[in-house]
Structure 1
């Protein structure tokens, strides 16, 4: 049986939501820091959509579905990080130009808080041993 530690889950949702809006994810020269929306709009919308599903499952107390969606969210954050990283390093398909682009664009600390929020969400649903009593 699984239980849901709600304060931990709300902390994870809050960290993940606030990090997508307020934390820098990419440093672009002459423009400045970009949050997740400015980095990739579809990545931002899908991330917020998965967080909305997590919140709705948290409200209706479907712990098993919440566990599945939080693991999906954690996988999505890793996939999004890898997509942004490989897009920076292979944007034009030419080694020289991609090398220059990779040296000018820098990943920032917003990814850390997004991963931290996903980890907290995963840790908020725990398995508890059920002790069955003898019915004599």
Structure 2
């Protein structure tokens, strides 16, 4: 039987929805610092991520716990893959070593990624399997 720790799950969902408005990347453009959210970084990643979060929230509220557990695992793996993809895309964009080093020095990760990771970890550990005792 699956059991959900509701306060942790709700806190994780709130953190994940708040992470949509947090800065993900900081880009230096001619002495100006520009911060990008997840939508400005890549709209497809944003839509896929928040589609998974929305479906997980729906499964949580309608008590489909098997689907919720599966989606929390998928979301955690997706966020790890997404962070790796953004990192490799920003450091290997031109396939020229000089240009990639210059671009890699101008793009920095911001604290929004930490919120995404914390929210997904909270969702991941909010559900557990417990054996019923007769």
TM-score by length of 2: 0.94
For the aligned residues, what is the CA RMSD?
Answer: 1.0
1:12 maps to which residue?
12
1:27 maps to which residue?
26
2:52 maps to which residue?
50
- Please give the residue correspondences for 1:91-106 in structure 2 after superposition, counting only pairs within 5 Å: 91-106=93-108
Shift in Å, 1:37? 0.7
Deviation by residue 1:32-84 (Cα, 9 ceiling, x = unmatched)? 11111111110101111001101110111011110000000011101110010
Structure with max Cα Rg: 1
- Taking the aligned partners of 1:89 and 1:32, their CA distance within structure 2 comes to 18
Match of 1:61, SS state, is: coil
2:65 maps to which residue?
63
- Taking the aligned partners of 2:50 and 2:68, their CA distance within structure 1 comes to 15
- Taking the aligned partners of 1:26 and 1:76, their CA distance within structure 2 comes to 18
1:78 maps to which residue?
80
- Taking the aligned partners of 2:54 and 2:113, their CA distance within structure 1 comes to 19
- How many residue pairs get aligned? The number is 131
Shift in Å, 1:129? 2.7
